[in-house]
Structures are given as structure tokens and as C-alpha cells.
Structure 1
């Protein structure tokens, strides 16, 4: 390939990346429009810096949560998102966009609560919540038996069906987040995105890409 051809190839590649990002950002800029009903059962694959893991989602467990998760994964919300809260023997939490502009439009995109039909046992996923009917985009995977969360309204909607060893290996050295601990401050993540995390917490693992498996 000649030098000129290399330059043209690189320019075309950059344009392709820019177009892809523009489409991604546009699809996530209006939460109300991402309201597709999920299949009764589906799988989502997460390619991470530690390897892949797959979750299976059951709409019958928690339909509102399953639908929201389906739309977020399908439209690229979790791509490049950090596992920002990893508490050994408890859970790993993710779901704040690395792009502050995307975070801003989803911050108050709440979904109604689902009744708790399953328990927060090892490998099950639930949405994080700040109180009744406040679930948005953040989810967590239970490392152990956290049945105490059931009575607090945390409704599992999925479980890890392969790659739990990958989930177990995610970096947990920063501990609990601020202000209770020395880990990442969620408010700062919302405002500054990955720029804040890459500078202050560079060891965090992250999702390279999440996809719905057909």
C-alpha cells in the first residue's frame, strides 16, 4: 500500500468511526424512544478487559427491568463503561455512561419498580436504585448470597450463565466509592465520565462492547 493510500485508508477509517459514534449518540439521546419490548428470554454478551461473560435475561422475572436492559445493550449504552464499584464478596456495579452528555439525558429516565420474584443470589443481576421507582441504567452482579437485598426492593432480572470467573476477576482494589470509601465518586463520573476515571482510577476494568446474542 502506498503512503497516499495509507493516508486515505486512515481517513476513511476515522470517518467510519465518527459516523458510528454519531449514530450511537443519536440513538441514546432520547430515552423515551428506546422502549422496545424485550423477548421473553434473551442473552447479552459482555466483552470486557478481563474476557467475556454472558447473562441470560428472563422477562417474567422483572419485565420493566428486562425491557430497559434490552434497549440499553442493543443501543450501545454500556460500551466502554467502567465497573466503577466492585466490592469483594458483595457485588460489582456498572452502568454510568463514559460520556457525560449521555449520562445527563438518562439520569432521570426512571422505570417503575418490578415485584421481587427472585433472590439476589450469586450471579444474579439487579438494577441499582435510590428508592422507589428510581431505576435508570445502573445494574449490579451479585458475588454471593445477598438475599438481604430482596426485602429492599432489588428485583433480579437476569443471571450470569457463562464467564462468572471473569466477573470474579474484575479489579476491586479501589473499594467502596466516595464519600463512604476511597473509590470513584458517582457524581464525578456523571459529570466527567471516563476522563475522570481514567485519570484517577486507571486500574478499573471496563466493558469493551455489549451485544444482544441472537
Structure 2
């Protein structure tokens, strides 16, 4: 049922609550994030809909750069990855700072280029604020889990995002078997 809903990105446009929490169960343990819609309404709404519909279940943390960020959000099923990576949301004004533990949508240099990729700041990255990266959630429990995600591949996977989208988790599991993954991401009270 959820996978069927994920086939149509345009249909998943529910407005997120003013604040909501998400529990990520990963291969390294559990961490919890709290999102504040007012900080980045378009980003929070997209994140809420992705979580509510099971988008992140089973996907990999494909870019872990110690001392910088942990990035995820390319779906492991290529048929879904392509649809969502082409479904961008409007930019939001930056109202918070990219501090350690904050969650922000990744984007290119082009306007309105956010889709499904997110990153958690491992350190204070205030320089990203001026580049238009608008954080909207913070790890409120389990930052030590985020810090333990496998980061030995570093930036070498960053340039392979098109291949990850085209081949999914099979490509990552074959070529980068030590990557950690999200088992489930769910809304909690």
C-alpha cells in the first residue's frame, strides 16, 4: 500500500504539524529527530510525507563524511528513486543555522532543487546557511548513533549519485557493503 502511494510524488502533499518527531531505527541503533515546520515549511512538509509513507525504510546512508555531514535519501528501489529525484520542492528562507545535529535538505546550486536527499550536520556548518540550506529538524536523542555511522568511504560515493538512483541498493550493497542503513523511519509522539 505505501509503495503504491510513493509511486505518485505529486499526491503526497499533506501539511506537516507545527512540530513532529521521527524515530530512525538504523543498523547502528536508534536516533530521534524533532522537526519544526516554521523553520522550513516546504522542507518539513516533504519530510513528513516521506516518513509517513515509508520512503526512508531500507535506504542507505550513502555519504558519510566525518567532520561534516551524513547524507541519505536516494531510494533503494530505482523505480521510486527516479520519480522522487525529479519531484523538487520550492526553496525556503533560511531561518535556522546548520548546527551539529540539524537536518537539512541537500540541493544543487540551482533554485528549487530539493527533492528527497537530506543531511545531518556532524559539526556546526554555519557556512551552509548563506548557501541557502535551511535546517528544520534536530536530533534530540541518539546523536551518538549518527556519529557511529560508517564513514570510511567518505566522499568517494558522492559522484555516483546517478548510478545509485539507477541501480539502487543492489549497487551499494555490491560495491560499498559496509554502509549503514535505515531499517525504519516512523512518526512518533
Structure 1: state its 5+ residue gaps.
Answer: 1-22
How far off its partner does 1:192 sit?
A: 0.3
Distance change (3 Å), C-alpha of 1:203 and 1:63:
same
Task: Identify the residue that residue 172 of structure 2 maps to in structure 1.
Answer: 197
TM-score by length of 1: 0.86
Question: Structure 1 residue runs of 4+, over 6 Å off?
Answer: none
Q: Secondary structure at the match of 1:37?
A: coil
Task: Identify the residue that residue 75 of structure 2 maps to in structure 1.
Answer: 97
Whether the 8 Å CA contact 2:84–2:116 is kept in 1: the answer is yes
Pairing 1:62-73 to 2, within 5 Å after superposition: 62-73=40-51
Task: Identify the residue that residue 17 of structure 2 maps to in structure 1.
Answer: 39
Higher relative contact order (CA 8 A, sep 6+): 2
- The count of corresponding residues between Structure 1 and Structure 2 is 188
Q: Which has the larger radius of gyration?
A: 1
Residues 60-112 of structure 1: CA deviation (Å, up to 9, x unaligned): 10000000000000000000010000001000000000000001111210100
Structure 2: state its 5+ residue gaps.
Answer: none
Q: Secondary structure at the match of 1:43?
A: strand
Whether the 8 Å CA contact 1:177–1:186 is kept in 2: the answer is no
Measured in 1, the distance between the counterparts of 2:158 and 2:146 equals 25
Q: Secondary structure at the match of 2:104?
A: strand
Match of 1:144 among 107, 120, 123: 123
Q: Secondary structure at the match of 1:57?
A: strand
Match of 1:155 among 106, 109, 134: 134
Q: Does 1:106 align with 2:84?
A: yes
Q: Secondary structure at the match of 1:141?
A: strand
Distance change (3 Å), C-alpha of 1:29 and 1:132:
same
Whether the 8 Å CA contact 2:27–2:181 is kept in 1: the answer is yes
